[in-house]
Amino acid sequence: MLAAMLDDLIEANQRYAASFDGQGKAAPPTRRLAVLTCMDSRIDPAAILGLTTGEANVVRNAGGRVTTDTVRSLALGTGLLGLEWVVVMHHTDCALAGQSEESVRARLTAAGLTVSEAGQFMAMPDPDTALRDDVEALRRSPLLPRLHVVGWRYDVANGRVVEVVSAGDG
């Protein structure tokens, strides 16, 4: 089964490569935009926001949370690729939403994982507060002084984005 799934991916890539038209595109995103979002498979940032290849950088992790690596990526994007805007896009029905660190750890332990040595999983007991905190963390970062940051929530049930933190907030 695994081999068949991997074969399907290789075949899909061969079809993609046969009509590939991305050669010659520059690395800097033409909209000077990055989108930080969750790794949830229901989220396709390009489709949701009408973006095409080369228009935006996309940074993904569990929950779409601001981490040290997120800041590192955005600092490189700002300094080397000319980023000016970041959309932090959390979503409804997130596995981390409405959870505490303890409840996430318990669920992972029940799934057979050893979490005693793990860092924080960045649970979101209050999703709106988590989104506001993530936006503020980027706005306060000394590595990102020129970035404009907004916070949006994507609704996985209807496909709509709602602004939670505007560019003028804060």
- What pLDDT shows up at residue 117? 67
Give the confidence band of 77 by pLDDT, cuts at 50, 70, 90: very high
Q: Which CATH class is domain 27-165?
A: alpha beta
d(C-alpha 20, C-alpha 158), whole Å: 31
- What pLDDT shows up at residue 50? 98
166 residue type, one letter:
S
d(C-alpha 88, C-alpha 64), whole Å: 7
Give the confidence band of 106 by pLDDT, cuts at 50, 70, 90: very high
- What pLDDT shows up at residue 157? 98
Domain residues of the chain, as ranges?
A: 27-165
Burial state string for 122-138 with b = 16 or more CB within 10 A and e = fewer than 16:
bbbeebeebbbbbbbbb
**30-61 pLDDT, tens per residue?**
999 999 999 999 999 999 999 999 999 999 99
Average pLDDT over residues 162-167: 94
Residue with the bigger pLDDT between 38 and 114: it is 38
Give the confidence band of 118 by pLDDT, cuts at 50, 70, 90: low
Average pLDDT over residues 118-141: 94
- What pLDDT shows up at residue 166? 92
Average pLDDT over residues 162-168: 92
Average pLDDT over residues 78-88: 97
The mean predicted confidence, pLDDT, of the chain is 94
Indicate if the pLDDT at residue 116 is higher than 90. no
